[in-house]
Structure 1
Amino acid sequence: MMQAIATTRLTVLRGTTTDAYGDEQDTDTAVATGIPASLTEQSRRVTTRDDPTPRIVRYAVARVTAGTDVRDQDRVRDERTGAIYIVDAVSSMANPAAAPDIRLDLRRTT
């Protein structure tokens, strides 16, 4: 059972192929569809020591039910908007009483 409130459904895309030039390309092979998820996009002001000019960086976070087969570098498609994200990190908090949701740190590609 998911603890966060689902705002959309996700499709997990996985796999690569090689094009005619020998370059690796992502495939749109769906390994799971209709996964309930809580998806939020946020922005943050960022500066670095090398470049003190503030920039706005957008990122997204999703939460899915524990046990969902999502891996680093998979892609997920928001079934509501069609937006595709790369999964940068998959994490979960330790909780001996309940299986916590899985957190996906996402980067939007489309």
Structure 2
Amino acid sequence: GLGPLPRGCVMQAIATTRVSIIRGTTTDAYGDEQDTDTPVCTGVPASLTEQSRRVTSRDDPTPRIVRYAVARVPAGTDVTDQDRLLDERTGATYIVDATSSMANPASVPDIRLDLRRTT
């Protein structure tokens, strides 16, 4: 198991790992924007799955494999688009492309994160 959850942290999906949410940028000596590794929160329980699908386009009928990941984190987690997610178990890093949650009057829903793997 992953041990006890932080107080107030209730998740509907089954956690498969813990993640750190990383945010922030800085400007380097050349004026280029660089990511900083400033954690917003760490040890967040998450259900993380990587998937792939075959895609084709009208311009290029050759199928190619696109890999993507989906994570679910507890409601109320401080995470926004363009944050980065570090899988504390595997060391993989993902960019958060989108966040969403389903409206459910009976309970507080998990936040769904659409991710793109960077490492």
Distance in 2 (alpha carbons) for counterparts of 1:95 and 1:81: 32
Deviation at 1:94, TM superposition (A): 0.6
Distance in 1 (alpha carbons) for counterparts of 2:63 and 2:40: 39
SS of 2:37's equivalent in the other structure is coil
For residue 105 of structure 2, what is the amino acid of its counterpart?
P
For residue 51 of structure 2, what is the amino acid of its counterpart?
Q
What does the per-residue CA deviation read over 1:3-32, in whole Å, with 9 as the maximum and x for residues that have no partner? 000000000000000001000000000010
Equivalence map 1:21-32=2 (5 Å): 21-32=30-41
SS of 1:77's equivalent in the other structure is strand
Deviation at 1:69, TM superposition (A): 0.6
* TM-score for both structures, normalised by structure 2: 0.91
RMSD: 0.4
Q: Could you list the runs of 4 or more consecutive aligned residues of structure 1 that deviate by over 2 angstroms after TM superposition?
A: none
Distance in 2 (alpha carbons) for counterparts of 1:107 and 1:89: 10
Equivalence map 1:27-106=2 (5 Å): 27-106=36-115
Identity of aligned residues (%): 85
For residue 53 of structure 2, what is the amino acid of its counterpart?
R
Q: How many residues align?
A: 110
- Structure 2, gaps ≥5 residues long: 1-9
* TM-score for both structures, normalised by structure 1: 0.99
